[in-house]
A and B are shown apart, each in its own frame.
Chain A
């Protein structure tokens, strides 16, 4: 994952972030022929950003831990028997869109963050789990046999051979999960979580284009910048696609 992918993603994120600024968003809205209405000021945007990042970040951390853990477990000799169950559960969870999970969890968990977090974890675990398990299974048997012949223990093989070889694919799964986390946190606005989705939903209801555009641009900016951060982290760790 070279600068070739990182730079355009980061630049797109920054352009979108600029579009969410009140002055720019007002100008875009008036270019679209909308009557100028009150925009969200920068302080409010930053407050929403902190809440959005906190919610999406918590969910992403949970997804990463669960997805990686279950993915590793599913590819161990002892976990192989759990594989069909894990696959069935993951496929079932995928058939329930995040909005629907948020809606279903609302009466049980109440308004705000918790239903969003549940939807985030339920929907996000799948790509990470699939990515991790698939990548670990794709590690060449020769590499594993060589490590065994060198007398490495199973844990050493996992940490020293399998995970480094599988890392690029695992990062791909994590990128999908991060984008899903940012998107689901925005959907959480429907359940009363205060995120960048809040001005979008409110703007749609009041036909107020400016905050709607600001929220949309800010959500997209967050997704692109998060993606760029993960790409940068992978590059720093020298995880390169073969």
Chain B
């Protein structure tokens, strides 16, 4: 890394911490608050954080080696830990003696600093070149934040206050969200398997499920609600099964509709994975078509299948957010409640788990995909 980039990196963090507000103190959660900058929030800890960051950047610029990377990693982790503690402590000091309705919201500086720490940690873990280190560090960081939160380090921050007030709601919404996404996947996977069996109609299948992708999700969900309503009027017996026009049923169908294309493409690519020589050899050995599918096509196509599953899962988790629009619940409900009340902390309370779960699914499945690819003989 050139020295000028390192200097710019330190300057960016300094600017984020010194000029942009870290906290926004308000009399309640609806009125606009008074911004509090980094120095006022963190105090002397600010100097220590910037010193650690500067030292880490100097190491990045000075040496490309693994040992420098490891030292930089520790420095950045120390700075991030100090920052998190300082933020919670600063908020607690400001909130002392105020009425319970008062709120210490997170300012833009927190997000800028978080972005900076994430980038720096990514850079440091890449220098150390150890497989799985990035995921390990991220997991450890999340665990540390959760434990610190449990211990009450962030109790004064408004996000923690909102969470404490709605712990059950958020947890229930998270499970609903996962159920919606899982339901969509559970519906789409067998559907794709059946569609792939219809060999002659693959062109038509491709056109139809490609066309579904063009329909905007909001529009499809709206239409599904209307048609589910019509269906329920025609077949009232469905109501006894717990189906309703507004609820999880149309949402799961809508989510599944969008997952068909990536899954169908992935399955087609997986089935094409073995080369013709292997297929000929399998036929010469007298394997039946079912045996070829189970022993040859699916194992060799496993990376493609997992890749398709990764794309579909991330999409499902995102689409499940819109499910709240048609009364299916999930984390989207908290987000939409926050939007309706113009309460940023409530929006964050719904948005953070959505993004975290999506990122975890993406990282986890792409690691699995990578290891399957590596195992496959070239």
Contacts and interface: CB of A to CB of B under 8 A. Distances in A.
Nearest to A115: B339
A107 B342 contact: yes
Interface in B338-378: 338-339, 342, 344, 347-348, 350-351, 354-355, 358-359, 362
Contacts of B214: 9, 179, 220, 223-224, 227
How many residues of A sit at the interface, in one of the four size bands? Answer: 35 or more
Interface residues of B, number: 47
Contacts of A95: 314, 355, 358-359, 362
B347 A104 contact: yes
Contact of A99 (B215, B227, B326, B332): B332
B325 A204 contact: yes
Interface centre among A12, A183, A196 (most CB of B within 10 A): A183
Contacts of A216: 218-220, 222-223, 226
What are the 7 A-B residue pairs with the smallest beta carbon separation, nearest first?
A: A32-B230, A97-B318, A183-B216, A216-B219, A107-B344, A33-B233, A216-B222
A197 interface: yes
Contacts of A213: 222-223, 226
A212 B347 CA distance: 25
Contacts of B215: 219-220, 223
B229 interface: yes
Contact of B218 (A8, A91, A94, A183): A183
A12 B211 contact: yes
A103 B338 contact: yes
A219 B218 contact: yes
A96 interface: yes
B104 interface: no
B216 A212 contact: no
A149 interface: no
A129 interface: no
A34 interface: yes
A149 to B, nearest CB: 33
The secondary-structure label for the interface of chain A is: helix
Given A91-B362, A103-B338, A104-B351, A212 B321 contact: no
Interface centre among B108, B215, B318, B326 (most CB of A within 10 A): B215
A103 B339 contact: yes
Nearest to A110: B342
A34 B126 CA distance: 59
Given A32-B227, A100-B335, 5 more contacts: A33-B234, A94-B314, A190-B336, A212-B223, A215-B219
B222 A200 contact: yes
A105 B229 CA distance: 34
Contacts, number: 137
Contact of A186 (B218, B229, B339): B218
A238 to B, nearest CB: 23
B319 A97 contact: yes
A94 B351 CA distance: 14
B122 interface: yes
A204 B122 contact: no
Contacts of A106: 339, 342, 344, 347
B259 to A, nearest CB: 14
B291 interface: no
Contacts of B277: none
Given A204-B326, A219-B219, A32 B354 contact: no
A159 interface: no
A97 B339 contact: no
A40 to B, nearest CB: 13
Interface of B: 108, 122, 126, 207, 211, 213-220, 222-223, 225-227, 229-230, 233-234, 246, 314, 317-319, 321-322, 325-326, 332, 335-336, 338-339, 342, 344, 347-348, 350-351, 354-355, 358-359, 362
Contacts of B319: 97
B219 to A, nearest CB: 4
A197 B318 CA distance: 18
Given A190-B339, A219-B218, A107 B347 contact: yes
B337 to A, nearest CB: 10
Interface centre among B214, B227, B322, B358 (most CB of A within 10 A): B214
Interface string A211-242: 01101110110011001000000000000000
Contacts of B338: 103
Contacts of B362: 91, 94-95
B359 to A, nearest CB: 5
A108 B322 CA distance: 21
Contacts of B108: 108
B342 A100 contact: no
B181 to A, nearest CB: 11
A33 B219 CA distance: 20
A197 B226 contact: no
A96 B355 contact: yes
A182 interface: yes
A191 B351 contact: no
A103 B347 contact: yes
A183 B213 CA distance: 10
A97 B339 CA distance: 15
A108 B105 CA distance: 13
A34 B229 contact: yes
A15 B216 CA distance: 16
Contact of A200 (B219, B234, B359): B219
A217 B216 CA distance: 10
